[in-house]
Structure 1
Amino acid sequence: MTYEHKTLWDYGKYAPRTPLSGHVLVGVDGSAEAARALDRAVAEAQARRTPLEVLHGWPWARHGTPEPARGADETTHSLLDRAHGVLRTAMAQVRERAPGLRVTATLSPQPVAAELVRRGRNAALTVIGSRGLGEITGLTAGSVGWRVAAHCASPLLVVRGEAAYGWPEHGTVLVGVATDLDTEATRFAFEQARLRGARVRVLHACAVPVPAGTAPAADADAVVRRRAAVPGRAAAALRGKYPEVEVETDTVWGGTTQALVEATRAADAVVITAHRRHGQRPGPRLGPVTHALLHHAHCPVFLVPAP
């Protein structure tokens, strides 16, 4: 393993550098959830044959920005020692899991959510945990994890559910499609299945299209046929590009959110398009399906930003 410890702290002096590109980025905060996210990030970097960047951001905003070394108080020194300890522990974990992996450790003085989003723009994948003791992993409204999910510009993996603990494996990557235009999420699911040697299940969950008695039977049947064809159309262009990937397509009628959450019980990962809403409040908001999966999915969740 090539270990490049490019820490950005010199007791208050920030040395900016050009972020990596095409790599796997993972946020760590010393929690058990972050350790599981790091394990998954190592596996993703190995599968993609790309470098790994382990990021620990400055999460102690209430203490302010540290002064240079001569003026640093005891609290600052203690916090910096803890931060370096988090990175050392993370690097030891990577060294044990993947001795040949090229990895960079980064300690940034910037707010951690903003730094994950910024560095994630150039990453092939950003990985975070779903909850934990630190500020990286919580997914409550306004938390670091929630802000990363709402603003990420490249694919994000939120490690949660039974598969986060290494069991069980179903050999299935689930992708939820709202329409056959969710092409980026579907392509990402096929690629993930190829890397894992798994099959893809393309699932379109929607409400009952026409309430009984409100439209002619022929019209209702036409709507049902169109919506039932959505997952097949979403996968059609990718079957030829990924001939080695087994594909299952399915449309489930009823509650969209409940159907997707239930389907994650039999998947190793779920992929969805990160549809965001812009309203009166500042910044983008996550849609209800994304919200539900981040809180209740039984497997890790990949969010793929909409083009």
Structure 2
Amino acid sequence: MTPRPATTLHPPDSDGVQPEGFSEVFAEQVLEGLSSRPKRIPSTWFYDHRGSELFEQITELNEYYLTRTETALLRGLRADLARLPAGAAVIEFGSGSSRKTPLLLDALKAPASYTAIDISGDFLRQSVQGLQLRYPHLLVQTLEADFSAPLTWPPALQSAVGQQPRIGFFPGSTIGNFTPEQAVRFLHGAAQFLGSGAHLLVGVDGTQDKARLLPAYDDARGVTAAFNRNLLIRINRELGADFNPQAFRHVARFDSARSRVEMHLLSPTPQTVRLLGQRFTFAEGETLHTENSYKYPIAVFQRMARASGWTPHQHWLAAEAAMALHLLQC
């Protein structure tokens, strides 16, 4: 979703004090999303500190096959990854906890630097502390940014990376959160950001089995439901809204025509929410669409990669599920 041009927004605080963490970009996108039909909010905003913590809990659930499947794939690729350029700068998009990063760093020959990119700054800095201790001779950097938007190198980070060969890392099938058109734009932007000759290792889920998919996005313990509702808690805290998160039901659906899992927050009864001086009404059964997770088969993803300036170099497919790791070259 592209935000409208920024306007001066005044949070409805009787003392004229902005709520903690107030962001005009966040406010613009939430207002636009709640005014849309159907209502929707970009999944980027899931990842405040609490949202990042909850997502890490999701990755440890039995139902969430994606993390363990991709981790097993990475562990088996040590010899293949060792053939990538030595002394490389590793750049991870949406680094989160950086839990899988050591599997790549340990396989590469003498990586020179690691740059973690994520939108949740506090969680990002907390996560790389362990990497700094584990790899004391590795230059570890952070870039707090929305990787779904065009990225530019801050001069200090770019200078530190210099002429090192660049290897991008985008695990977790996070690319599935983009529509096909958005995914092509991201891949094109990543090619420009990493530069000519760079490699990109991307995790992509192509699973189509509803019996496997839906539990992964609607677990028995309700962690994914809490993750989904945390978006409303964040809107309340940062934008001064009055959502009742428990008045919304977490819903996961598989749209086979679009090959995507959708997450929604459903209002079982009519209700009205106030936000930044405006009122938004939910009808009975109306949903707020919060996330898509597209499932891209190998051939589909390779076409998208070629369309965005990458050459598919190699791919590896997991035995447990239709999860693949793709190695691309710019």
TM-score range, shorter chain: 0.3 to 0.5
Larger radius of gyration: 1
TM-score, normalised on structure 2?
Answer: 0.31
Instruction: State the TM-score, normalized to the length of structure 1.
Output: 0.33
